[in-house]
Amino acid sequence: MKAVILVGGQGTRLRPLTLATPKPMVPLANKPFVSYVLEHLKEHGISDIVFSMGYLPEGIKAYFGDGSGMGVNLTYVVEDQPLGTAGAVKNVEEHIQDGDFLVLNGDILTDLDISGLIEHHRRKEAMGTIALTPVEDPTAYGLVRTGSESEVLGFLEKPSWDQIDTNLINAGTYVLRSEVLAMIPAGIEYSFERGVFPRLVGKGLYGYSSECYWMDIGTPEKYLQAHYDILEKSVETSVSDCLDQDFVCVQGKIDLKTGAKIVPPVIIGEGTVIEAGARVGRMAVIGPGCTISAGCVVEDSIVQENCTLEREARVRGSIIGAGASIGAGTLVDGGAIVGGNSKVGGDNILTNHIRIYPDTTVKAGTIKF
């Protein structure tokens, strides 16, 4: 079966991390996020994959090539303009054969039983089957109502509490019959959620609900949470084995100086230097090629590749983009994001979800936010 992965979105909610890097290439535990999607598909025997792209496609192509490095066969289709989720699939129609095919949003970390989803779809002889996942706060999402035979009865967009009779949402993974392509207008923006699926209600649209792990990594909070879940092994990924029993994963040779402290769970990329008196963890992912200087603290945070943290910099609950440097004594806390290649001088305080754009220079002692 072929799979289409939608990776054309701009990822605005994850800015500034997605200003120069498309969301699928934003690293998760030091690997491009979408490589987890490819690994998951492969585990379920799906290796013919089409990337439906739009925003910043070049980096994805350059990294994955024909897919042989990951044991999959990749095809790339780039849109001239954003076509929405369904329009994007229509745009790759020539690569889809008759029969069933899969569609996946490219920003979801999940251990969904894709084989179970396909089996359910076939047992029901469905036109389309939507993977469903339960959420704690149903008011924040579009809900999917299903009947006793798992048939989809309707959709509720961001309902109030008195309207709520289900906590199941669309998990962004579908199996569709190729006939569905005829329902999608070509060349214009069209969505599955608002266009195709409401029209398929009562005409062979089913849901497949399961209690799998499911995380849409599209916001900084959820992107951080996905890291925490990988670190705690709440979700099984290709990094889980490396974390082993002691929950410390070192991805190659690192330079851990005597007197440096590692507090699990942590993941540390190759070539990183951690100096005496620095503390990394708990809950930290450090990219390759970083320098964490004496007296630094990194916890509940992500530091992407090639960053430098100068003496006594502290990073808590925050994200440091690739190639950034954080000056001595600076505090980065409370959901802050420092964009890639930025230079933050010493003695700044960056908190309250502040977002520093990539390539920005912040002079010493100028921000106390």
Q: Is 117 in the site for ligand GTP (CB under 6 A)?
A: no
The contacts of residue 192 (CB under 8 Å, 6+ apart) are 85, 86, 89, 103, 174
Residues near ligand GTP (CB under 6 A), total: 23
Residue closer to ligand GTP, measured from CB, 54 or 204: 54
Q: Does 107 bind ligand GTP (CB under 6 A)?
A: yes
Write the DSSP assignment of 240-251 as a string of letters. HHHHTTTTEEEE
Among the listed ranges 80-88, 154-162, 304-312, 337-345, the one in contact with ligand GTP (CB under 6 A) is 80-88
For 269: left if phi > 0, alpha if psi spans -120 to 50, otherwise beta; the answer is: beta
Q: Which is nearer to ligand GTP, 12 or 361 (CB)?
A: 12
What does the block give as tokens for 25? 């290439």
Q: Does 23 bind ligand GTP (CB under 6 A)?
A: yes
Residue with Cβ nearer ligand GTP (84 or 281): 84
Residue whose CB is less far from ligand GTP, 131 or 254: 131
Stretch that binds ligand GTP, among 4-12, 131-139, 196-204, 279-287 (CB under 6 A): 4-12
Kindly tell me which of 12 and 115 has the beta carbon lying closer to ligand GTP.
12
Between residues 82 and 134, which has the closer beta carbon with respect to ligand GTP?
Answer: 82
Single residue of 32, 195, 218, 264 touching ligand GTP by CB under 6 A: 218
* 32 touches ligand GTP by CB under 6 A: no
Residue 13 in the binding site for ligand GTP (CB under 6 A): yes
Query: E strands of 141-217, at which residues?
Result: 142-146, 152-157, 168-177, 205-209, 214-216
Q: Give yes or no for residue 142 binding ligand GTP (CB under 6 A).
A: no
The C-alpha atoms of residue 35 and residue 45 are separated, in whole angstroms, by: 15
- Choices 6-14, 38-46, 176-184, 274-282 (CB under 6 A): range interacting with ligand GTP: 6-14
Give the nearer residue to ligand GTP in terms of CB position, either 107 or 275.
107
Q: Taking the CA of residue 204 as centre, how many other CA atoms within 13 Å lie in the half-sphere pointing to its CB?
A: 13
Query: Quick one: which segment of 84-92, 230-238, 264-272, 306-314 binds ligand GTP (CB under 6 A)?
Result: 84-92
- Closest Cα to residue 328, out of 353, 291, 303? 291
Residues 157-186 interacting with ligand GTP (rule: CB under 6 A) = none
Question: Does 129 sit near ligand GTP (CB under 6 A)?
Answer: no
- The span from the CA of 286 to the CA of 280, in Å, is 8
b/e map 141-174, b = 16+ CB within 10 Å: bebbebeeebbbeebbeebeeeeeebbbbbbbbb
Q: Does 16 bind ligand GTP (CB under 6 A)?
A: no
> Is residue 57 a contact residue for ligand GTP (CB under 6 A)?
no
Q: Which of 32, 84, 287, 335 binds ligand GTP (CB under 6 A)?
A: 84
Strand 297-299 to strand 314-316: parallel, antiparallel, or no bridges (unpaired)? parallel
Identify which of 326, 324, 299, 321 has the alpha carbon closest to the alpha carbon of residue 310: 326
Identity at 176, one-letter amino acid code: L
In whole angstroms, give the CA distance from residue 97 to residue 179: 10
Q: How far is the CB of 326 from ligand GTP (least distance, A)?
A: 26
Q: How far apart are CA 211 and CA 214, in angstroms?
A: 9
The size of the chain, in residues, is 369
* 223 versus 256: smaller Cβ distance to ligand GTP: 223
Provide the binding-site residues for ligand GTP, judged by CB under 6 A: 6-14, 23, 52-54, 79, 82-85, 88, 105-107, 218
